């Protein structure tokens, strides 16, 4: 998440500078000293329509004049926006359903120390809880330390809004994986995801589109649900799909999301199941359905070793996957 200066006016004890004043010679001379005195966590807040220029009389003659920079509202960045996050363990062929693109409760959240950021905690959303947060060279694993940071000037500059943010040493020690825990926050996740589309999902380009758990909109592809035992290893199974299947020519262009999700309360055999979502990113269709059937056959053949049993499948195809961006989330 980048920190962009806000395009609205803010006045401190010394008053503010309007659009007309910003272009006066006096303000030009003052700005040269102001930029030298600003602390590393300082802000230069401009009124709407104002602007300023910065030049170095001793710059190298080969340097160009540069391009104009557009300042945008930094308060527009929301914690629940899936567009703004990047998984630290992403690999070619893997993606995450929308709710799991936002940090889960067992995740470590890392804001690069060399990058500025500002993130909003929305009102009304369920409290955000993750395993740890690293920001400004510090790692917070206790609520007391995080609360002190959030109340500090540096913390208020980077985290704003009435929402709650907390951390806890909830390591995922189950080899079969852990449920993300973002189900309650999914309405806000989907609202942020679809904000640029007017809050409405695009129509899926297929008949019989599916909406897996954690996904905001229908997609075309296939979903395989597996029941699992205590010996099931989620990471090993994800690696098996990548190494054994996705590298084959007939499955070129497919992407897969594998995670543990809550099971329907109507099914009493287990509280959770493994959801495998397959989507196609290329022009060819039918690969997701073929891979789903291959996965079911593979599980039936190696069920004792995989400690998994097939549940159900559905399918067709899907458009483009969503791309993930910084900051990073390390899956715990």
Which pLDDT value is given to residue 2? 36
Which pLDDT value is given to residue 54? 64
Which pLDDT value is given to residue 271? 87
Which pLDDT value is given to residue 31? 54
Alpha helices in the chain (DSSP H): 25-37, 98-101, 143-151, 153-158, 186-193, 234-240, 287-306
- Which residue, 91, 90, 127, 129, is CA-closest to 107? 129
How far apart (Å, rounded) are the C-alpha atoms in residues 17 and 9? 8
- Report, as ranges of residue numbers, the positions in the chain whose pLDDT lies below 70: 1-43, 52-66, 69, 71, 264-269, 282-283, 303-332
Which pLDDT value is given to residue 206? 78
How far apart (Å, rounded) are the C-alpha atoms in residues 22 and 286? 60
Which pLDDT value is given to residue 317? 24
Structural domains in the chain, CATH included, are 82-186 (no CATH), 202-315 (3.30.70)
Which pLDDT value is given to residue 253? 82
- Which residue, 302, 322, 318, is CA-closest to 310? 302
């Amino acid at each position: 998440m980048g920190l962009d200066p806000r395009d609205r006016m803010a006045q401190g004890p010394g008053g503010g500078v309007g659009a007309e004043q910003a272009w006066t010679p006096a303000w030009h001379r003052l700005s040269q000293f102001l930029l030298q005195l600003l602390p590393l966590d300082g802000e230069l807040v401009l009124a709407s329509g104002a602007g300023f220029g910065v030049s170095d009389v001793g710059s190298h003659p080969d340097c160009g004049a540069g391009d104009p920079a557009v300042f945008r509202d930094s308060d527009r960045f929301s914690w629940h926006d899936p567009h703004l996050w990047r998984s630290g363990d992403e690999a070619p062929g893997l993606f995450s359903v929308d709710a799991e693109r936002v940090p889960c409760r067992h995740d470590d959240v890392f804001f690069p120390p060399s990058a500025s950021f500002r993130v909003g905690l929305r009102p009304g959303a369920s409290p955000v809880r993750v395993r740890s947060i690293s920001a400004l060279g510090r790692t917070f694993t206790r609520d007391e330390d995080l609360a002190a940071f959030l109340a500090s000037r540096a913390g208020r500059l980077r985290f704003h809004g009435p929402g709650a943010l907390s951390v806890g040493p909830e390591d995922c020690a189950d080899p079969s994986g852990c449920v993300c825990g973002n189900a309650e926050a999914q309405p806000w996740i989907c609202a942020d995801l679809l904000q640029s589309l007017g809050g409405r999902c695009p129509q899926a380009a297929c008949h019989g589109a599916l909406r897996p758990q954690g996904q905001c909109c229908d997609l075309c592809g296939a979903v395989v649900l597996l029941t699992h035992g205590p010996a099931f290893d989620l990471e090993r199974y994800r690696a098996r799909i990548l190494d054994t299947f996705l590298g084959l020519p007939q499955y070129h262009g497919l992407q897969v999301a594998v995670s543990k999700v809550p099971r329907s309360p109507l099914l009493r055999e287990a509280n959770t199941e493994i959801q495998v979502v397959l989507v196609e990113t290329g022009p060819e269709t039918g690969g997701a359905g073929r891979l789903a059937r291959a996965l079911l056959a593979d599980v039936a053949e190696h069920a004792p070793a995989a400690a998994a049993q097939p549940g159900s499948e559905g399918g067709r195809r899907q458009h483009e996957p969503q791309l993930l961006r910084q900051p990073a989330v390390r899956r715990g």
